[in-house]
Amino acid sequence: MQSGIYVSISSQMALERRLNTIADNMANVNTVGFRGTEVKFDQMLSDTRNDLNAKIAFVSQGNDYLSTDNGELDHTGNMLDFAIKGNAWFALDTPSGMVLTRDGRFTIKDTGELVSIQGYPVLDAGGAPIQLDRTAGEPKVGADGIMFQGNRQVASLGLYQADISKGFLRYNNSGVMPTDRPLPVVDRFNVGVAQGYLENSNVNAMREITQLIEVNRAFESISALTHDSESSLEEAIKTLGGSS
């Protein structure tokens, strides 16, 4: 009987974690380049003490992963705005190390360095900060990421890939720090850069609201079951206590 309470608690903990990811996704529904967080829960089986053939199913703590859906592209006309088509990331040099991001709102410092909206240097395919000539005008960038000022090739926007499923940490600028080492994309036949565009958040607000309603209903149902289980346990204790 007590095992039912433990199962309910594990379910409530899982629902709380899902609720936190929904709240984070909703808070970033308008954040440029943001990729929503999902949670995968696994079933954990435990033997009962009285019957080794009986199994009790618990819910695991869950593993976070990023949605791989691409957000819609928004045309800004700004020559220093960039969006990625396909499964790749821009790379930034931050005080915490290399950070991957889909937020392509860049600008040129007085020194000519290409930086993110947070002021972090944007890296090329070799992992070096991109240096431009501020007096040569705005750069023109092709779908392959090659940057030109006038008729001269000056740099190449670095596009990187990493296995985010192995773990990651969130960073500002819609960034992520993956556990897996990011590697530059060498063959770019299925990825590219769009100049003058930004990628919107890939969070679907209506879908998140629907899931929020479902999570709240599930939490209420589990709470009711837990209350019933506790009441049954109290009645059993009273009955056994009165019969002795």
pLDDT tens-digit series, residues 117-167 = 999 999 999 999 999 998 888 899 999 999 999 889 999 999 999 999 888
Residues of the domain holding 58: 2-68+203-243
Rounded to whole angstroms, what are the CA distances from 121 to 3, 82, 90? 54, 15, 11
Whether pLDDT at 23 is above 50: yes
Of the candidates 232, 196, 230, 223, the residue with the CA atom closest to the CA atom of residue 16: 223
Q: Is pLDDT larger for residue 161 or for residue 225?
A: 161
Q: What is the pTM of this model?
A: 0.79
Q: Which residues contact 68 (CB under 8 A, 6 or more apart)?
A: 35, 87
* Residue 161 identity: Q
87/170 same-domain check? yes
Same domain, 139 and 168: yes
Query: In this structure, are 143 and 34 located in the same domain?
Result: no
- Tell me the two tokens of residue 139: 């750069």
At residue 219 the predicted structure's pLDDT band, cuts being 50, 70 and 90, is confident
Q: Say how far apart CA 215 and CA 39 lie, in whole Å.
A: 13
